């Protein structure tokens, strides 16, 4: 019997709107999207990338898991027994989403949400929640009126091309300041 696999996709982190967008689905091993461009998992922390799609796969042994907006711009998952892989690819954007019950329900000041393992084909409301201690919220980008917008800089004469692999990263200076989790920032880490 195949264990259900739950995929969490952090679709976008808007620095100025202070929102993160989330989507969730379940898939059996046979129907998992082919978007494995590389794995990334550091001490249980899942990083949100700008203009990128991050997918968190987990083969559940337990009935539920916890992920936290932990006050530093990362999504943190609890140590639940199982196999974790964090993968990224634009191909994942086309994956059919099956939302799961319980995703959402962030309590003000706590900055966390619970998500339970579900079976294929079960749908529930879009994921929303927050605010956390810094006023950040998260929302499903497919939710009506979500309004998460970004500008593609590919082909922009002012853009800087980075030669990165799935195992490398770079810190880039922006030339302007923005507030993020209580600190003014002038650079972003691109992974």
Helix (H) or strand (E) holding 96: none
**Could you report the per-residue pLDDT of 113-167, keeping only the tens digit for each?**
333 333 333 333 445 666 777 777 776 666 666 666 666 667 777 777 788 888 8
- For residue 180, the model assigns a pLDDT of 82
- For residue 71, the model assigns a pLDDT of 52
**Could you report the per-residue pLDDT of 60-106, keeping only the tens digit for each?**
333 334 444 445 555 544 444 443 333 333 333 333 233 333 334 33
- For residue 156, the model assigns a pLDDT of 74
Please state, in angstroms and rounded to a whole number, the distance separating the CA atoms of residues 105 and 85. 25
Q: How many residues does the chain have?
A: 191
Return the sign of the alpha-carbon dihedral for residues 112, 65, 80, 67.
Answer: negative
Rg (CA), the chain: 17
Helix/strand/coil percentages in the chain, nearest 5: 5, 40, 55
Reported pTM: 0.30
């Amino acid at each position: 019997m195949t264990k259900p696999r739950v995929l969490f996709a952090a679709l976008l982190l808007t620095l100025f709107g202070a929102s993160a967008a989330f989507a969730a689905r379940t898939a059996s091993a046979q129907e998992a999207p082919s978007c494995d461009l590389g794995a990334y998992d550091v001490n249980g922390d899942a990083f949100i990338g700008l203009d990128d799609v991050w997918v968190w796969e987990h083969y559940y042994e337990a009935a539920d898991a916890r992920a936290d907006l932990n006050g530093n711009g990362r999504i943190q998952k609890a140590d639940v027994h199982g196999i974790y892989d964090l993968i990224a690819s634009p191909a994942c954007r086309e994956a059919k989403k099956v939302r799961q019950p319980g995703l959402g329900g962030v309590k003000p000041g706590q900055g966390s949400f619970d998500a339970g393992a579900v079976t294929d084909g079960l749908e529930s409301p879009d994921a929303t929640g927050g605010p956390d201690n810094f006023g950040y919220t998260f929302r499903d980008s497919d939710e009506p009126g979500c309004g998460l917008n970004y500008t593609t800089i590919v082909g922009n004469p002012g853009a800087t091309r980075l030669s990165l692999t799935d195992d490398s990263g770079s810190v880039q200076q922006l030339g302007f300041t923005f507030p993020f989790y209580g600190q003014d920032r002038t650079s972003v880490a691109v992974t």
